[in-house]
Amino acid sequence: MSELRFLGHAAFELKVGGKILLFDPWIDGNPQSPFSSPDDIGAADIILVTHDHADHGFDDAVSIAKRTAATVVAIAELADRFREESVPKVVSGNIGGTVGIGGIRISFVPAIHSCGVGVPCGFVVRHPDIALYHAGDTALFGDMGQLADEQLDIALLPIGGTFTMDIRAAAKAVERIRPKAVVPMHYGSFPSIVADAEEFRHLVGNRIPTEIMTSGGVLSFK
């Protein structure tokens, strides 16, 4: 049993194996956030940050990690930045690598994007109850098809365009990754990343369900 909650933009909470994971927890300034402050996050065990752009929550991750004693997971150079901010528990890795934390395996996978520190990444999270891909910010790229081997239950993909894949590219990504379901993210939060999620669902087609989540909404997996 696991539960995925959308926190707006690219932020998600995943409850699995008795742990609470946060992805790219941008709250302060996130127009789609169900929370008004990072202090509204009551508990967290693991916080995954894909890259250092402000809309992916570095600052809020620092504050949540210090208050909840959550372990922050990030690419090596970004992990060093968290350590410089005195985050108590930080686990670093790099593209192609996997770390295990409390029965949950977290793999760093490529993302084609930019950032200030290190390189951007996506994450594949595995537990007997779920296999989930959070793409971070990325373009469509050829090797995305390798993720089909992961037999993902769910893929969280950016569709907003301008800084990431748009709905057409993201629909091609779905074709290559072949997850059991897809959740569109990273759209509608700024004027430059407006996208039509229903049109994305249409492009993906019927074989793979598109779960259009509203902020604060929850998907359950058995």
What residues make contact with Mn ion under the rule CB under 5 A?
A: 53, 55, 137
Query: Shortest Cβ distance from residue 41 to Ni ion (Å)?
Result: 21
- By beta-carbon proximity to Ni ion, the closer residue of 15 and 53 is 53
- By beta-carbon proximity to Ni ion, the closer residue of 2 and 164 is 164
Query: Shortest Cβ distance from residue 128 to Mn ion (Å)?
Result: 31
Nearest by Cα to 169 from 127, 96, 221, 113? 113
Query: Shortest Cβ distance from residue 136 to Ni ion (Å)?
Result: 8
Query: Shortest Cβ distance from residue 9 to Mn ion (Å)?
Result: 7
Neighbouring CB atoms inside 10 A of 37's CB total 11
When asked if residue 24 is in the footprint of Ni ion (CB under 5 A), the reply is: no
Residues in the chain: 222
When asked if residue 53 is in the footprint of Ni ion (CB under 5 A), the reply is: yes
Which of Ni ion, Mn ion, none interacts with 150 (beta carbon under 5 to 8 A by kind)?
none
Contacts of 52 by beta carbon, 8 Å cutoff, 6+ apart: 58, 78, 81, 115, 116, 117, 118
- Specify whether the CB–CB gap between 86 and 69 falls below 8 A: no
Q: How many residues bind Ni ion (CB under 5 A)?
A: 2
- Specify whether the CB–CB gap between 1 and 129 falls below 8 A: yes
Residues facing residue 23 across a β-bridge: 12, 48
- By beta-carbon proximity to Ni ion, the closer residue of 158 and 179 is 158
Residue 72 CA neighbour count, 13 Å, CB half: 34
- By beta-carbon proximity to Mn ion, the closer residue of 19 and 53 is 53
- Segment 129 to 148, residues that bind Ni ion, using CB under 5 A: 137
**Joined tokens for residue 150:** 């992961």
Nearest by Cα to 147 from 181, 124, 120, 166? 124
Q: Rounded CA gap, 21 and 79, in Å?
A: 17
Query: Shortest Cβ distance from residue 125 to Ni ion (Å)?
Result: 20
- By beta-carbon proximity to Ni ion, the closer residue of 131 and 135 is 135
- Name the residues that contact Ni ion, by CB under 5 A: 53, 137
